[in-house]
Amino acid sequence: MLHKSPKTIYTHRRNAMAKFHCNTLAELHRKIRTIENHSLHQ
C-alpha cells in the first residue's frame, strides 16, 4: 500500500463515486425510456 495524501485518496474516491453515479443514472434513464416505449406501443 503506497502512502498517499488524504487529499489524493479523497479525490480518487470522489471520482469513483461520480463515475458510479453517472452509470446508475444512465441505467435509470434507459429503464425509464424502455418502460415509456413499452407503454406507448401497447
For the stretch 8-40, pLDDT in tens is 888 989 999 899 888 999 999 999 999 999 888
Task: Say how far apart CA 24 and CA 18 lie, in whole Å.
Answer: 10
pLDDT on residue 15: 92
Domain ranges in the chain are 6-40
DSSP 9-32: HHHHHHHHHHHHHHHHHHHHHHHH
Task: Tell me the three state secondary structure of residue 38.
Answer: helix
Q: What is the pTM of this model?
A: 0.53
